[in-house]
Amino acid sequence: MCIIRRIMRIINILGVLVYLYFGVLYNSYRCYIIFINGILFHTNEKNIYLKYYDITVNSLITFYTIYNCPICIIGAYIGSSSFLCNMYFFNKGYYNRTKSDIIHVIFTQWVMCYTLLLDTNT
């Protein structure tokens, strides 16, 4: 069971790879930062400092993106709300870690990546 849980945690790491792809494609320093922070955190999830560092840096990048491209606030709202609701429902035990990871990748990581790409000044 432990091996399966470790394998399933790979879902978040695979979800972060999209930032590397767009970082290379568009030479986006913000995508590179999110990718590096995501890999650091999702490979060391027991480290509480990395968790809050990752959340803080991603929030700052989101605010910067909204400042540069105000229309991005819609995607930022969807991604942030998804993150908060997902953490709430997972912590309350409404669904398991695997479902939480899939929801996190699709509705937080990918939505926020799309939002970041809307800003043409990346």
pLDDT, one tens digit per residue, over 69-83 is 999 999 999 999 999
Q: Mean of the per-residue pLDDT values for the chain?
A: 90
- pLDDT classification of 45: cutoffs 50, 70, 90: confident
Half-sphere exposure of 122 (CA within 13 A, CB side): 25
- pLDDT classification of 46: cutoffs 50, 70, 90: confident
d(CA 45, CA 58): 16
Task: Give me the numbers of helices (H) and strands (E) for the chain, helices first please.
Answer: 7, 0
Is the per-residue pLDDT at 3 higher than 90? Answer: no
* Domain encompassing residue 104: 2-118
Section 5-25 average pLDDT: 84
- Count of structural domains within the chain: 1
Is the per-residue pLDDT at 17 higher than 50? Answer: yes
Is the per-residue pLDDT at 62 higher than 50? Answer: yes
User: Residues of the chain with pLDDT > 90: what percent?
Assistant: 81
CB 75 within 8 A of CB 114: yes
- CA distance from start to end of the chain: 42
pTM assigned to the model: 0.88
What pLDDT does 91 receive?
95
CB 18 within 8 A of CB 44: no
User: Residues of the chain with pLDDT > 70: what percent?
Assistant: 91
